[in-house]
Structure 1
Amino acid sequence: MAAIVYFRKILETEELVEYEFGDDPDDFRRRMTMDKTSCTSTVQDAQIDYTFLKASRKLNALHTERGVWPERGMSVS
C-alpha cells in the first residue's frame, strides 16, 4: 500500500515556517509549524499520526539537503 502526503508553505518568518499538508493537493486540511532553530515540528490539530510524521520528516530532509525551506513538495512511499 502506497502512502502520499503533499505540503505547501503558507507562512515564513525569522523563527518559523508554517505549512498546510494532506493527502489531496487541492484540499489541504491540516497545518504544521516548523521551528527554524530546532527543526522540530508541531501539528495544529494535535494529531501526531503517520501523515504528519511523513510530511515533517520530508520537510526536514529537504531543508538539510537544500539549505532552504521548500515552497511545496510531496513524499511518497
Structure 2
Amino acid sequence: MAAIVYFAKQSEDPQVIVYKFGDDPAGLARTLTMDKASRTSQPGDGEADYTFLKASRKINAVYSESNTWPERGMSVS
C-alpha cells in the first residue's frame, strides 16, 4: 500500500517554521512546528502518527540536501 503526504510552509520566524501537512494537497488540515536549531518537530494536534513522521522526515531530508527549508513538497512510499 502506498503512502503519500503533502506539506507547505505556513509561517516562519528566526527560531521555528510551521508547516501544514496532510494526505490531500487541497486540504492540508494539520500542522507541525519545526525547530530550526535542533531540527526537531512537534505535531500541532499532539498526534505523532505515521503521516506526521513522514512529513517531518521529508522536510528534514530536503533541508539536508539543499541547506534551505522547503516551501512545499511531498513524500511517497
Relative to the length of structure 1, the TM-score reads 0.99
Number of residue pairs aligned between Structure 1 and Structure 2: 77
Alignment of 1:2-13 (within 5 A): 2-13=2-13
- Tell me the residue number matched to 1:28: 28
Superposed CA RMSD in Å reads: 0.4
- What's the secondary structure of 2:51's corresponding residue? helix
- Tell me the residue number matched to 1:58: 58
How far 1:10 moved relative to its partner?
Answer: 0.7
* Percent of matched pairs sharing the same residue: 60
Which consecutive unaligned segments of at least 5 residues does structure 2 have? none
**CA shift digits 1:17-70 (9 cap, x unpaired):** 100000000001100000000000000100010000000000000001000100
Runs of 4+ off more than 6 Å = none
